[in-house]
């Protein structure tokens, strides 16, 4: 039973209200003055206090200040005859939970109680009921032959409900949405396996990495304006949703869409394709001195600015002035804040921010980070906390002051892996846990999407018998040697390179200052 204290020097006049609330199951204690109320609070526990503002002796506001000083966690509802703005402001400044003006009726009081004492329970029940109704609709969608746009719709719905259920204290439904997401990824793997070869050969394809800038950035170029392309490495759609509100305080959304990362879903392939406007084997052929294969030493993304300049030239846009900035640490990020004003004279300013990818890798290697981001919910929370205190939020705020549009996107996502899949290969096989490429690979064929002839998929071949395999759902590849050691080390870590909704369906958001 909820215990409520009602403090009013005319409490006898409120007897009908008290009887009504008692009939609703609440336990009411009354006091006629602030001093009496403070004595009662010292000896009893209350869930809510109704406090009259105008009382003889210790006033309502004085009583409120003492209560908030000594009992900060008890919500207080101020009740007053006065509509003076100064009294309202002082009460609100003292962190009251509600403000009612006399005469009050029983329904008003009951609503205030429910808002302060039962809102969490009512919200939890509403969210749970709503998802239970939506569960069937999503399941029916998953059982049908979905198009790319329909897959985007399903994924957005799943992320929406994940985030909504996260707000709830009812954990009973968590396993259900987790199972539905697993089923969605299983169906999505079939969807990719059946269609990817056609898409990468430009047959009725969704928007893929190599067409992203041409389709979503170039149309917004204007000789009289400065446009920003912000690529946050390894930013999943759910991570975008948890930082979205912080950005949209100063921006309006022009479009909120998704595109599909090419395979492998790794920086070396997907981001090079984005900036070059070419598929990986085309990059290797056109830039043999700049493309490095998986086993080659050296950085795999060292030439993005050159690739982008060439893409501008191929599209007859070479007279547009370009800047390119890659931020890989917080110190350089802080320096970039001060450079934003100088960028407004460029037509296109590209900023690549690498922190999220580093966070994903750090979670694998560092025990502390792994404990802080134990699951998707915690991983999102860590992303939100990072963004709120990062130079990136200040960079975006500075761009808002310029009045410039921003295209926000990423190169690939990441997935929390939990199921090992054994692979046998020679020493030259790449170390990525979500895709392997090389010759003489042995694996469980039901766990992978195989590209026996990489040239059909526009992927470079190291030798004539090279092939690529991609892990499905939340699988990760483990070698036969020291199998158990690596199974335990990599279980419940974030990896990318394979096929999943999280890795492949990516945000492409265009915003403009308010």
Predicted local confidence at residue 98, as pLDDT: 84
Predicted local confidence at residue 38, as pLDDT: 94
- Structural domains of the chain, with CATH: 3-104 (3.40.50.2300), 118-199 (no CATH), 207-414+503-513 (3.40.720), 416-496 (no CATH)
Beta strands across the sheet bearing 348-353: 251-260, 505-513, 405-409, 227-232, 348-353, 322-327
Q: Is 82's pLDDT higher than 80?
A: no
The rounded distance, in Å, linking the Cα atoms of 94 and 113 is 19
Contact 96, 68 (CB under 8 A): no
Least confident range from 96-110, 266-280, 310-324, 451-465: namely 96-110
User: pLDDT band for position 117 (50/70/90)?
Assistant: confident
Predicted local confidence at residue 362, as pLDDT: 52
Q: Is 196's pLDDT higher than 90?
A: yes
The rounded distance, in Å, linking the Cα atoms of 404 and 250 is 11
Beta-carbon contacts of 370 under 8 Å, excluding residues fewer than 6 positions away, are 363, 364, 492, 493
Beta-carbon contacts of 200 under 8 Å, excluding residues fewer than 6 positions away, are 208, 262, 279, 457, 458
Q: Is 365's pLDDT higher than 60?
A: no
Q: Is 258's pLDDT higher than 90?
A: yes
Summarize the confidence of residues 43-67 as an average pLDDT.
Answer: 90
H helix count then E strand count, the chain: 20, 19
The pLDDT tens digits for 479-502 are: 888 899 999 989 998 999 999 999
Q: Is 372's pLDDT higher than 80?
A: no
Q: Which residues pair with 31 in a beta bridge?
A: 7
Summarize the confidence of residues 17-32 as an average pLDDT.
Answer: 93
Least confident range from 47-61, 214-228, 309-323, 346-360: namely 346-360
Predicted local confidence at residue 464, as pLDDT: 81
Per DSSP, the three-state class of 410 is coil
Q: Which residues pair with 499 in a beta bridge?
A: 472
The rounded distance, in Å, linking the Cα atoms of 91 and 113 is 18
Beta strand pairing call for 76-80 and 48-52:
parallel
Q: Is 138's pLDDT higher than 80?
A: yes
Least confident range from 13-22, 443-452, 466-475: namely 13-22
Summarize the confidence of residues 39-58 as an average pLDDT.
Answer: 92
Summarize the confidence of residues 391-398 as an average pLDDT.
Answer: 96
Summarize the confidence of residues 251-264 as an average pLDDT.
Answer: 97
Q: Is 86's pLDDT higher than 70?
A: no
Report which of 15, 1, 23 is spatially closest to residue 117, judged by C-alpha positions. 1
Looking at the chain, the whole-number percentage of residues with pLDDT higher than 90 is 68
Mean pLDDT of the chain: 90
- Tell me whether residue 51 is exposed, middle or buried, using C-beta atoms within 10 angstroms of its C-beta: 0 to 12, 13 to 18, 19 or more: buried
Give the global pTM: 0.82
The pLDDT tens digits for 314-360 are: 999 999 999 999 999 889 999 999 999 999 999 999 999 987 666 65
The rounded distance, in Å, linking the Cα atoms of 439 and 452 is 10
Report which of 26, 18, 501, 510 is spatially closest to residue 260, judged by C-alpha positions. 501
Predicted local confidence at residue 156, as pLDDT: 97
For residue 266, how many other CB atoms are within 10 A of its CB?
26
Q: Is 32's pLDDT higher than 90?
A: yes
Predicted local confidence at residue 93, as pLDDT: 63
């Amino acid at each position: 039973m909820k215990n409520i204290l009602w403090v009013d020097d005319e409490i006898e006049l409120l007897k009908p209200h008290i009887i009504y609330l008692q009939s609703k199951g609440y336990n009411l204690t009354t006091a006629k003055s602030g001093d009496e109320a403070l004595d009662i609070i010292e000896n009893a526990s209350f869930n809510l206090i109704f406090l009259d503002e105008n009382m003889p002796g210790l006033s309502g506001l004085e009583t409120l200040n003492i209560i908030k000083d000594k009992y900060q966690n008890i919500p207080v509802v101020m009740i007053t005859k006065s509509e003076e703005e100064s009294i309202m402001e002082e009460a609100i400044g003292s962190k009251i939970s509600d403000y009612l003006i006399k005469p009050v009726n029983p329904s008003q009081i009951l609503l205030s109680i429910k808002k302060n004492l039962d809102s969490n329970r009512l919200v939890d029940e509403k969210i749970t009921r709503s998802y239970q109704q939506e569960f069937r609709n999503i399941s029916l969608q998953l059982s049908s032959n979905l198009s790319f746009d329909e897959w985007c719709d399903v994924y957005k719905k799943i992320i929406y409900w994940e985030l909504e259920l996260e707000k709830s204290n009812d954990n009973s439904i968590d396993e259900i949405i987790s199972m539905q997401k697993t089923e969605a990824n299983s169906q999505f793997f079939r969807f990719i396996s059946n269609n990817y070869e056609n898409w990468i050969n430009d047959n009725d394809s969704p928007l893929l990495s190599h067409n992203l800038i041409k389709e979503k950035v170039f149309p917004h170029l204007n000789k009289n304006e400065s446009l920003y392309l912000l690529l946050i490495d390894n930013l999943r759609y759910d991570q975008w949703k948890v930082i979205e509100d912080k950005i949209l305080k100063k921006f309006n959304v022009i479009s909120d869409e998704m595109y599909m990362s090419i395979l492998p879903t790794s920086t070396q392939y997907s981001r090079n394709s984005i900036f070059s406007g070419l598929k990986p084997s085309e990059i290797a052929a056109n830039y043999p001195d700049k493309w490095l294969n998986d086993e080659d030493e050296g950085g795999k993304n060292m030439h993005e600015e050159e690739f982008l300049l060439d893409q501008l030239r191929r599209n007859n846009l070479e007279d547009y002035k370009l800047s390119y900035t890659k931020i890989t640490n917080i110190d350089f990020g802080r320096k970039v804040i001060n450079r934003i004003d100088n960028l407004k004279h460029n037509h296109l300013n590209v900023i690549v921010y690498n922190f999220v990818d580093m966070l994903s890798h750090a979670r694998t290697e560092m025990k502390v980070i792994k404990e802080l981001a134990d699951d998707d919910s915690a991983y999102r929370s860590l992303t939100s906390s990072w963004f709120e205190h990062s130079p990136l939020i200040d960079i975006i705020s500075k761009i808002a002051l310029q009045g410039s549009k921003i295209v926000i996107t990423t190169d690939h996502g990441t997935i929390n892996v939990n199921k090992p899949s054994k692979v046998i290969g020679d020493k030259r096989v790449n170390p990525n846990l979500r895709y392997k490429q090389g010759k003489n690979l042995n694996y469980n064929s039901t766990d992978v999407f195989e590209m026996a002839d990489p040239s059909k998929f526009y992927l470079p071949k190291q030798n004539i018998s090279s092939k690529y395999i991609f892990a499905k759902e939340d699988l990760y590849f483990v070698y036969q040697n020291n199998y158990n050691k690596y199974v335990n080390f990599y279980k419940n870590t974030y990896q990318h390179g394979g096929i999943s909704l999280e890795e492949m369906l990516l945000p492409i958001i265009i915003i403009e200052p308010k």
